[in-house]
Amino acid sequence: MNSRSGSLSGRLRWEQACNSLAAEMAARQARGLTTIDLTESNPTRVGLAYPEAELAEILGRAAASIDYPPHPLGLPEARQALAAALGTPGDDVEPDDLVLTASTSEAYSFLFKLFGDPGDEVLAAAPAYPLLDELAPLDGLALRSFRLEPGPRFALDAGEIERALTPRTRLLALVHPGNPTGTFLTKAEQDAVVALCAGRRLPWICDEVFAGYALAGEAPGRASAAAARDETVAFSLGGLSKSAGLPGWKLGWIRVGGPAEEKRRLVAALERVADAYLSVSTPVQRALGAVLAMAPRIRAAILGRLRHNLAVLEGAFQGLPAVDVYRPEGGWSAVLRLPRLAADEELVLGALRHAGVLVHPGYFFDFPADGFLVLSLLPDGEGFSAGVRRLAGYLGDLIAAA
C-alpha cells in the first residue's frame, strides 16, 4: 500500500498558519473598522482612469475569430508588434528573439525548466519581493540569495554574487529596477555581472517589468536591457501587468540575448517548453499591437501617481529626521528605514491598531534586520496622503517616547 497516497508534495509548505497581521486585518474587518491600505500594488484598484471603452473594443475585435493557430512562441504579428515596442535607438529587437508567456511568473518557470534539474539552485538578490521563494520550489529548485549593499542605493556587488555561487547554481536572477528597493542596475554593475556570467558560463535573468517607471527620469550610466548584450546568455522579462498596467490581461514575454547561435538553440528549446502548455490567450495576442500602442498613456498616468505620492511621502516625513525615506530610482514602492524601536512586525501591527494604516514589514522582503518598512506608491492620492500622515504621526510618537 502506498503510504503517500493522497499526500501533498514537499515542494512548498502547503498548510500555512494565519499570521498576526492577517489575524489583525480579519479582526478589523469583522468590527467594521476602515484601514488605509498602503500595500496595494494592483494599478486597476487605485482609482486611475483607464481607457476601458477602447480596451473593450480592441479585445472584442481580437476575439472575433475563433481560429486557434498553434504558435508556441507567440503569434508572429504579436511578436513583431512587441519587438517594435521594445526596440530603442541602438537596440533593434528581433521578433525571433521573443517568446510570449501568460505572465512573468510563467516566464521564470519556463527558464527554470530549461536550465534546472531537481535540487539545482537559482541565485537571486535580497532584499526582494518574495516571488521566487514560491516559483523556484514549484519547479524543484532551491533558491539561494546574496545580499545587496545596505547603503542608500542597495547597490549590487559582483563579488557578493561570486561568493554565493555553488556547484549547483544554474541561473542568476536579478531585478532592474529592484523591487522594493527601486534601484536600477548601473552599466558598471551590469558589466560586472556579464563578465562574471560569461566566465562561469552562467545564464542570467533580468526581470525588467518596472523598467518603464523611472521616477527621476532617465539617468546617465543606467544599464540597458540585459538581452541587448551578446557576450553571454541573458533573458529580459516583461509583461503587460506593469508595462501597460493591465495585470488581468495575462501576457508576459521573454527576450533571449547572447551569441547568435546560442540564441537560436535556446529559442528552439523554449518553443518546446511553450508547446507543452500553449497558455497564452490568442485574443490577447491579437490585441497586443493595439494595447502596446496605448500603453504609454497608461504608464504616464501611473508614473504621475507614483511621482506625486513620492513627493507627498517625503513631505510627510520631512520633520522626522530619524526616519530615512529611501528615494527610489524606479518602480512602485518606497522603503523607510527607522531606528530599531521594535521588531518590524510589532511596528506594523501598531500602525494598524493605532493609526489604521497597513504597510509591509521589512522581513516580508528579506531585509537583513529590523528597522525597515515598505509601502506602495500606487494608492489614490487622498487616501495615500492621509495614510502617510497617520504613519508619520504614529512613528513620531514612538520615537519621541523611546
The CATH number of whichever domain residue 166 belongs to comes to 3.40.640.10
Answer yes or no: is 9 within a domain. Answer: no
17 or 3: which leads in pLDDT: 17
Q: Does pLDDT of 5 surpass 80?
A: no
Domain that holds residue 115: 52-294
Answer yes or no: is 380 within a domain. Answer: yes
**Cβ atoms within 10 Å, residue 172:** 23
Per-residue pLDDT, 276:
96
What is the arithmetic mean of pLDDT over 332-345? 93
- Whether residues 348 and 271 fall in one domain: no
Q: Percent of the chain at pLDDT above 90? A: 88
Q: Does pLDDT of 194 surpass 50?
A: yes
Residue 375 pairs in a beta bridge with: 334
- Whether residues 67 and 204 fall in one domain: yes
Per-residue pLDDT, 91:
95
Q: Does pLDDT of 238 surpass 90?
A: yes
pLDDT confidence bin for 156, thresholds 50/70/90 = very high
Per-residue pLDDT, 60:
95
- Whether residues 246 and 385 fall in one domain: no
Q: Please say whether the beta carbons of 245 and 302 come within 8 A.
A: yes
Collapsed DSSP state (helix, strand, coil) of residue 233 = coil
d(CA 173, CA 165): 12
Asked if the peptide bond before residue 220 counts as cis, ω within 30 degrees of 0, the response is: no
Per-residue pLDDT, 402:
79
Where among 294, 327, 347 does a domain terminate?
294
What's the domain count of the chain? 2
DSSP state of 368: S
Q: Does pLDDT of 16 surpass 90?
A: no
Where among 251, 274, 294 does a domain terminate?
294
d(CA 348, CA 356): 10
Per-residue pLDDT, 201:
96
Q: Does pLDDT of 76 surpass 90?
A: yes
Answer yes or no: is 172 within a domain. Answer: yes
The CATH number that applies at residue 331 is 3.90.1150.10
Average per-residue pLDDT in the chain? Answer: 95
- Whether residues 139 and 230 fall in one domain: yes
pTM: 0.95
Query: Tens digits of per-residue pLDDT, 243-284?
Result: 999 999 999 999 999 999 999 999 999 999 999 999 999 999
Answer yes or no: is 156 within a domain. Answer: yes
Per-residue pLDDT, 257:
98
Lowest-confidence region among 86-100, 142-156, 237-251: 142-156
- Whether residues 130 and 265 fall in one domain: yes
Q: Does pLDDT of 218 surpass 90?
A: no
- Whether residues 232 and 117 fall in one domain: yes
Answer yes or no: is 29 within a domain. Answer: yes
Answer yes or no: is 11 within a domain. Answer: no
Give the list of residues 6+ apart from residue 125 with CB closer than 8 angstroms, or none: 145, 146, 147, 148, 156, 174, 175, 178
How far is it between the farthest Cα atoms of the chain?
A: 68
Q: Does pLDDT of 336 surpass 50?
A: yes
Q: Tell me the H-state helices in 317-376.
A: 344-350
- Whether residues 284 and 373 fall in one domain: no
Q: Please say whether the beta carbons of 216 and 314 come within 8 A.
A: no
Answer yes or no: is 394 within a domain. Answer: yes
What is the arithmetic mean of pLDDT over 349-372? 95
Asked if the peptide bond before residue 89 counts as cis, ω within 30 degrees of 0, the response is: no
Question: Exposure pattern of 255-278 as b/e (b: 16+ CB <10 Å)?
Answer: bbbbeeeebeebbeebeebbeeee
pLDDT confidence bin for 1, thresholds 50/70/90 = very low
- Whether residues 206 and 276 fall in one domain: yes
DSSP-assigned states of every residue in 245-262 = S-GGG--EEEEEESSHHH
What is the arithmetic mean of pLDDT over 277-300? 96
- Whether residues 40 and 66 fall in one domain: no
Per-residue pLDDT, 37:
97
69: Cα within 13 Å, side-chain hemisphere: 11
Lowest-confidence region among 205-209, 214-218, 364-368: 214-218
Q: Percent of the chain at pLDDT above 70? A: 98
- Whether residues 160 and 275 fall in one domain: yes
Amino acid at site 244: A
- Whether residues 236 and 341 fall in one domain: no
Answer yes or no: is 222 within a domain. Answer: yes
Q: Please say whether the beta carbons of 256 and 235 come within 8 A.
A: yes
- Whether residues 354 and 328 fall in one domain: yes
Asked if the peptide bond before residue 177 counts as cis, ω within 30 degrees of 0, the response is: yes
Where among 294, 309, 338 does a domain terminate?
294
